[in-house]
Amino acid sequence: MTVLRLLRLTAPADFADWYAASRAYTRHVADGMGLDDADAIDGARVVERLRADHARLSPAEARSVAATLLADGAFSEPYCEWLPTWYELALLAPVRYGDWRLRRVAATVAGAADVTVTAPRFSRPHDVTIDGRSALARVSGFRERFLLADALLHLEWFVHAAAADGIEVPPALVDRTRRESLSYYGGDRESLSPEVRRFQRLLFADDAWVARVNDRYDLRSPLFGVWERLLRAERDRLAAE
């Protein structure tokens, strides 16, 4: 049902609510970390213009929309590679379709504003090691792989989307968060430092994105429900530490 319902999304206006969910996530994380220029992009105005006529978007607004949609599209296939093979194979065709659709819409938005935007490259298991071993060497089970993948890839997603929105994320914070998170969720570290734990707690608010997209597009996706529960539970657990 999820893929069939997405077939009706073809025009930039169809993705106004999608962008709204993603921009709200970027703003939530940036505000929570006290990053400068979190409000450089007026998300509500962008959504209004995207819904009415994407050609009215300013270059900065179009860059935000296109970069966000490209990141959303590129996210899923690498994510699936971190999970069990049965999961990856089951979702490969739908996520490739989603990426294709989001790329087409992003290109339309960027082209209308004459801006150039590229998709991010997300880490895949063969790209990553922890203390010289495969990142998945000490991780077993769907939940553990799911959290490890999200802890890494939503960091990479946020850095890309934030840069497009004019938000500067300190490189030292990104490097430390990546290093600690890989070790922690990869089974080599017992805890996260306070700042990294705070950052990851905010990043794990992607459960709100999942819930919002599932609801706004009437996807009725049981899979989205599983993702939402896992993400929310981890965010709550980090908040309780």
Question: Maximum distance among all alpha carbons in the chain?
Answer: 51
pLDDT tens for 116-125 read 999 999 999 9
What is the per-residue DSSP string for 35-96?
A: -TTTTSS-HHHHHHHHHH-GGG--HHHHHHHHHHHHHHHHHHHHHHHTS-HHHHHHHHHHHH
Residue 1: the pLDDT is: 42
Residue pointed to by tokens 């065709």: 93
Whether residue 146 contacts residue 230, with contact meaning beta carbons closer than 8 Å, is answered with yes
> Average of pLDDT values for 1-7?
58
Mean pLDDT within 196-213 = 96
Collapsing DSSP to helix, strand or coil, 133 comes out as strand
Evaluate if residue 2 carries a pLDDT over 60: no
Question: For the segment 27-83, what is each residue's pLDDT rounded down to a tens digit?
Answer: 999 999 999 999 999 999 999 999 999 999 999 999 999 999 999 999 999 999 999
The model carries a pTM of 0.95
Confidence of residue 233 (pLDDT cuts 50, 70, 90): very high
Round the average pLDDT of the chain to a whole number and report it. 94
Quick: pLDDT tens for 132-166: 899 999 998 999 999 999 999 999 999 999 999 99
Query: In this model, does residue 3 exceed pLDDT 60?
Result: no
Distance CA 50, CA 194 (A): 38
